[in-house]
Structure 1
Amino acid sequence: MIRINPPRHPHSHSVPLLLTLTLVMLSPGALVRSQNCPTRDVTFELITGYVFTAPEFILDTRPGVLLLEECIEVCRQNVTCASVNYETGLCVLFMASARNNPGSLSRSQFPVFTLFAQKTCVRSARTLCPGRGWIFDRVQDFKMLGFARETRPADTVEDCMAQCLSQITFTCRSANFDTLKLTCEISDMDRHTVNSRNAFFPAIGIDYLENNCAEKPSSVCNFKPIKGQILKTVDSVFANIGSQKECEQLCVSSTYRCHSYDYGDTGTNICRMSHHSSETLRNIREPYLSAAQATTYELTSCFNVSVDCQANYMIAKVHTNRVFNGKIYGKTRPNSCTINVENKLDFELYLGFNDIDCDVKQETPGRFGSDVIIQHHDMIVTGEDVGLKVRCNYNLSNTTIVSDTNLSVKGGLNIAGAENTVVRSPNVTLRVTDRLGLDILSAQVGDALALRFEIVEKESPYEIFVRDLVAMDGLDSSEIVLIDSRGCPTDFSILGAIKEVEGSGKVLQSDFDAFKFPTSDLVQFRALVTPCIPRCDPVQCDVTDYYGKRQTTSSFGRRRRRRRRQIEGQDTGSKSDLMVAGVIRISDKFELASRKEQPDTLEREIIREDTHNVWTPQDSPEHVSCLNTVSFSIGATIFVFVQCVILGAWTYLYYRRERKKSEDSLASSLCSRSSSEDLDPYFVVPIPTHHRPCSDLSLEEHRSSRSQRSKLQHLEHFGPGRSGSFRGVYPRDL
């Protein structure tokens, strides 16, 4: 506060009033002019979670403003405006800012949070960062540890911002300004490129500055759904957006660094976007609004891919927005043409044209191409991974072509079979199902699936727990542990915790997104299941996922400690572990098929001509090249097997028919001979015969009758009393 003591005279009371009004009007509104700040240096900084409380300095209130950039631009065009408060749908302009009224800046009151932006003067800001509403997002009393590239002296926070913007040897993404030591630590990392849980900490007297002008990869981006919550305050709201993909594309192509969006949760065809994500809102109390049917999509990874074409090789260069751990390899040579990547934002893969290890194909004279996979996990392919086709064309005009269309290659996920292990008590099955427990007929990599362990006998007194769950490829050459010996998931991003289904310990389920191994279409699951009585208690698991998020959850993967009731041979439960296994077939996610044959399949191609750097999409079917030999072999085998079954069945029926005809012919012959013998004139007394038609006699009966007649003839010709004449044979002689 400035206190003025004017001279005493009869009208002295009006002088201090006039001077006070003059100070109020000039101090905040003429901030930039008072600092002699050139127009090109006037810009804005953003402070999230704080609100400027100064009703006496309100310049204007504008309801219905749905864009943060629009609110800032209104203030930029008004020379008397110094700062703004923004909430979704409300923009408040002030003649003062927190620079000359720091006591008026306080944390937003729960349950809402406000975005506060104020004018500042940063050297060459508009030149080095054109077209951005704000240049830095400032977090007071926080700092990022362990990633400083350089430490420089800085008199003010604006000086620290200017040094970050003007850095040319590397991309400055953030800085720590120490208000006490007057130092500036600049870094090529920020809260999005690294796991902020392990690097972002409170620090009194230090301001963390995040650069909104840093280049953002946008060619290939993946978003992860977070169900049940949406942000309370967002940067932009758009109406009449036709689809979720269109909303996602708006986020990727936005003028600021958009990191999350939601679609259709606050109204039909409403798209809301924000530069914040769960990584940047840790210092805000409950920034999300819980809603059962809502979903927020957070950016997990973005890639820019370029191709360097040389005389006899090409290099696929990848730039990502997040520190990458995984590998990049040629699709057809996952073991021989691969590069392991550890904690890098930029990496590349060398592809020699005559190198058999990488299998680069010459599609036409002067045109070389190869499929490249960017795989996050070291062993398995997941829905987060990216498939690209890179090409070099040496015989076209000087253009460089790339597609910024998101790749969505469907791969049929067919059940090859389920192998159920039957134990004495109880019987347990392992099935691969959807999240509702229904058997799946087809799926694709990244689809929502589940592993379901179930006791067949509904009245069984047992419950079960699962541990040592392993996924293996079809060649038994690679495997990954999904559930450890304690019963805890090793990586939440691959497989979730084991949960009871409908509160029953007889049915357990673990959700996962479909994945495969690079070397095989088959994924085999094997686990140890142990029954217990009366109940299996869950184990508390504390696991860090791929993105560094540490989660604590319960998993039904450990049997409760049993009391020693094995006195005199008695036991409270089964002592033996049961092994259950299952297998599914997942066709290649990155099979780049023709769009005419698969209309729902999009192909992402990176094609580099030999001289230019301009990229355009390429949709021609001639660019497609793929042959799934495993699927072809399996289909051929099934076809041959079916033909053999049909041939065997026909042969069996044919011989059966011939045999029956032969038996009927023999029976007819016996019947004819029997009739003639019954009328033999040499017999004085007719031989007794059956009183059934001959056609009704079976083959055995005919043979029996034939045997009796042979016996009678023997007695007639060779019996006692033969004297050259025939004697009668009576029934008693038989």
Structure 2
Amino acid sequence: MMNLLFGFLAIKLAFGAQLMNCPRNQVKFEKIIGLRPSHDFSGYLLHKQQNHEPVTVECLSKCLSKDDCVSFVVYYNVSECYWYNSRLDAFQENENLIDSGVGWFEKTCLYVTKCDKMWIFERVPGAILIGNNIKTLPNRITRRECQQHCLDETANPCKSVKFRIFDEPNSTETMGICTLSDTDRHLMPNSYRVSSYNEEYFENQCSNVTTNEFCAYEEYENAILGHVDMKYDGKSKNECEEVCENTTIFNCRGYSTTTINSTQVCLIHSEDSKLHGPKSLIEIDGARYYEKARCLNITVDCTETYITIRYQPEISFGGKIYMNGYSENLECYVLGNGKQMITLKMPLFGNQCGISEAKSTNNQNRTLLSGTMVLQYNPLIQTQGDRLIKVGCIFSNESKIILGTGVNFTNSLFPNRGTTIVNSTTLQPTVEMRIVDFYTQKEVSDTQIGQELQLIIEIKPADGPYDIWAGHLIAMTEDGQDSILLLDDKGCPTNLNIFPSLIKVVSNDTRKLTGNFQAFKFTSSAIVRFSVIVQFCSIHCIPVDCGNNIVSGGRKKREIEPLMAETTSGTTVKQINKHQYDNQGRNKTVQMPLEFILVVRNTKISPDRLIYGENNKILVAGYDLVTNEVCIDYSLLIGIIITWVLTQIILISCGLLMIRRYKRFYQQENTTQSLEELHKNFGLGFSNLEPRRVHWADNGDFT
């Protein structure tokens, strides 16, 4: 016990001296994920917030200014943090408690340049990243020394570290073997896995992250991430996403939007759901959680008979690319080959690889051929990190438009709604299509037949040099088997009873096309996919006269240029080609497809009153689907009560008659059995009562 106490004090003094000798600007934090001290080590309250307000930033600031504060633990569920005057090494590490609901922050001394993160490394005990090692340092060193080597690495960027612990009896700090890596768990999700307790994963928060490295978000419906680091009130979804993108004090991995006391709330997260799995998500009706996802360098090309998909891996890829449902068809899959480009060439027609065909309903002869591709990191099994990508082409008499609808997770394996794939170059302007409730102007993804909706196509920035026009708006089922053309190639409506022409709205703050309509659905599916082709014009798009006093907010058809774009339901497309000009300097337009997925359900319909007879007597007045209450006419109710009473009387009478008959039968049977038993007791039976012949001793016979 004394040896343990002296060891504890030696570690504490050693680390205290280390921090004392550390320049003030080099005192940094390290975040330890998934652990907290055991109950044997009690901390001191550092900060507390009411109403579950985030405390991470405040706790970091207070501990940094407090010399005695060596480490602290954030309890996210109660918005409290407690500080300790000892570091993690001072505790018996094998006695620390595994707890996914906390964040443990510990002071360290690191020399960092050009990095203003509040914590420099994230440490995950019992985890490891397989492969892509830069180098392994030859000697056993401390965690801090290992992390400093990662920060000082110049030949190759060090994004993460694998640290294997070894016992050093004479050392006051934890020692181990340090291996540097140029990738992290976000780039290689399939290589990040649980490992033994003596292995740890360090992630460098100061590694250079390019602007296009995370260019999309996966959406989780009716949920938020439980670990919240910052909160903003009154922020819309787009504003919340902008806050996440511009956060510099830590790496924002995602954001959540929800409503608290009628106020739209924006929650910022430094972690993601991949760390602790689905259990880290909290179900809240109406909430949305958006998690950053990496870009994929995927391109799609079409000829008259083939569709070609090319994937250029950033790292060595040994998985498989195939069309969903056709993983064993030789024409429909291809295996990875390290860092070499992977090409999957498939026939467009014949439905050999699940390529479905949808044709327009007018005489424009436009055809959509599309399918679902799976990018699977393991050649045999599917994992959470795999992607589903919609790819396809639109053919017409005049042009061929390449379509990529992005990542769309649609089965139970993938619980979220998906992400957007954007090429490495992000150019302005940006364009977004969404569908909102006409009255509340809130974006909807699930509605009922007949609800008043508004389709909005908006270009940003509003004061930019570009204008937009939209045409060839198609509504189709999820599988593309059924479809209807809402706007033709000129942008004119095909059926005003279903969808109107688009109206252009221009102001200092917005430049958009809007169309008001009532929700509708196909009989074969509740999912309605809206697909539209957007054109960009320089300065101004000329409105189109559709006849019958109908004007569409677009332009007359000029020379167009095919463009590949990759979008998904309700997401923003963040890339277009550079503006083109012909030889005469005249304006040329650029085309881009957008898509939005809407779930439309049948309206709750109450039946009419049930009328009977020539006098129109009301038998049933109505039925409330919400409360399951039936409204019945008074005379009918009396009749039902009388019928019920008579039925009960008949049932009771029948029961009494049956009981009386059974009682009489039981008494008769009981009497017979009693007589037989009595005769047996006296040695008499029914046969003994018959006449018998008796023989006497004198041989005389008497009867």
Q: Shorter-normalised TM-score: what interval?
A: 0.3 to 0.5
> Over alpha carbons, which structure has the higher Rg?
1
Q: TM-score, normalised by structure 2?
A: 0.46
Higher relative contact order (CA closer than 8 Å, sequence separation 6+):
1
